[in-house]
Amino acid sequence: MPELPEVEVTRRRIEPQLVGRRIRTVRTTAASYLFITPPEALRRSLRGRTTTALGRLGKYLIAELDDRRRLVIHLGMTGQLFSQNASSVRLLAASTRQALAPEEQAEFRPDEHTHFRLAFDDDGPGIYFRDVRKFGKLLLLAPDEQHPRLARLGPDALEVGGERIFRASRKRRVPVKQLLLDQSLMAGVGNIYADEALFLARVRPGRRAERLTRRECDLIAAAVRRVLRRSIETGGSSIRDYVAPDGRDGAYQFERHVYAREGEPCFECGSAVCKRVIAQRGTHYCPKCQK
C-alpha cells in the first residue's frame, strides 16, 4: 500500500492520537516475519511508556518514547495503522464484509491480521496495526541504536534535487524507474509515484539511467516532489488497502495519470497507456508523451 504520501498522512493523523498518551497495555499476535523485535519484548518494553514525538523518514514511521527508545514501524505492502474508532470496509476482508449487516460495519473488530494493539491509560481509543501480508515491520531501537534498515536510507524524497539523481545515474545501465525505487538514492518513492513522476517529467521509465541529461534529472526531481506533495494534500492513494488512521480514503487515485490505467487513454494525448514489467515491477507510461 503505502509510499511516502500515505505514510506521511498516516503520521499526521495518528500523531495526535499517540503523542502524550501513556501506554497501558500492548497486545500482539504470535512471533512472525513482521516482528523484528520479538512480540513479547515489545509488550514488555512499551508498557507504561509515553510517546513524545512521531517522525517519518521515507516510508518509515519513528515514534520517540520517553525512555529514549524508538519504535520503528514500516507498513510494507498491506500495513494499516489506525485508530480503534476508525471504520472502513478496507479494514475488512471481502468475505467478512459481505457477511456483516451494514450496521455492524460501524466499529472495527480486531481480526487475525491485527498484529499490534495499543491501549492507553486514559481509556480513549486504542491504536491498531493490521497487516494481511505481514510484509510490514515493527522494531524497537535502544537509545542511539542504529539499524541497517534506517542507515541505508537516502534523504527523504521531498528534499531531493536533480543534482543527486544526476550523480547517481552516471554509469548506471538500469532503467530510470529502478533508480527512483532505490531507497538509498532517496527515501519514499514506490511504484505508484515512480510511474506518476516519470509521466509528469515526460521520461520513459525504461530509459537507461546513464543516458539521462542533467535537465531531465531536474525535471524528474521536481516531478517527484510535486507528485508526493500533491498526494499528501489529497490524503494519499486509496487504490487497494490504504486507509487513513481515521478510516477515511485518500483521493490521489483520482488524479493518477498512468498508474493502473493500462489501455485507457492518456489525458494529455489520448494514446492508450502502456504497461510492461520494468525492474521487476508493473510499470505504466504513455508511449507518446514520454520519451
Partner DNA sequence: ATTCCAACCTGATAGC
Partner DNA sequence: TGCTATCAGGTTGGAA
Q: Which positions are catalytic?
A: 2-3, 59, 281
> Applying CB under 7 A, which of residues 13, 21, 56, 59 lies at the interface with DNA?
59
Q: Which of residues 82-101 bind DNA (CB under 7 A)?
A: 93-95
Which residue's CB is nearer to DNA, number 119 or number 181?
Answer: 181
Q: Which of residues 143-172 bind DNA (CB under 7 A)?
A: 148-149, 152, 171-172
Q: Which of residues 117-136 bind DNA (CB under 7 A)?
A: 132-135
239 forms part of the interface with DNA (CB under 7 A):
yes
> Applying CB under 7 A, which of residues 183, 186, 207, 245 lies at the interface with DNA?
183
69 forms part of the interface with DNA (CB under 7 A):
no
225 forms part of the interface with DNA (CB under 7 A):
no
24: Cβ–Cβ under 8 A, 6 or more apart, which residues? 47, 48, 119, 120, 121
* Bridge partners (DSSP) listed for residue 60: 57, 74
CB environment 56-90: b (16+ within 10 A), e (fewer): bbbbbbbbbbeeebbbbbbbbebbbbbbbebbbeb
> Applying CB under 7 A, which of residues 6, 8, 15, 196 lies at the interface with DNA?
6
Please name the residue that has the C-alpha cell 510511474: 195
Q: Are 160 and 208 in contact (CB under 8 A)?
A: no
Annotate 210-235 with three-state secondary structure.
Answer: HHCCHHHHHHHHHHHHHHHHHHHHCC
Which residue's CB is nearer to DNA, number 51 or number 80?
Answer: 80
- SS3 of residue 126 by DSSP: coil
**Which residues of this protein are in contact with DNA, per CB under 7 A?**
1-3, 6, 32-33, 58-59, 74, 76-77, 93-95, 113, 132-135, 148-149, 152, 171-174, 178, 181, 183, 190-192, 236-242, 250, 279-282
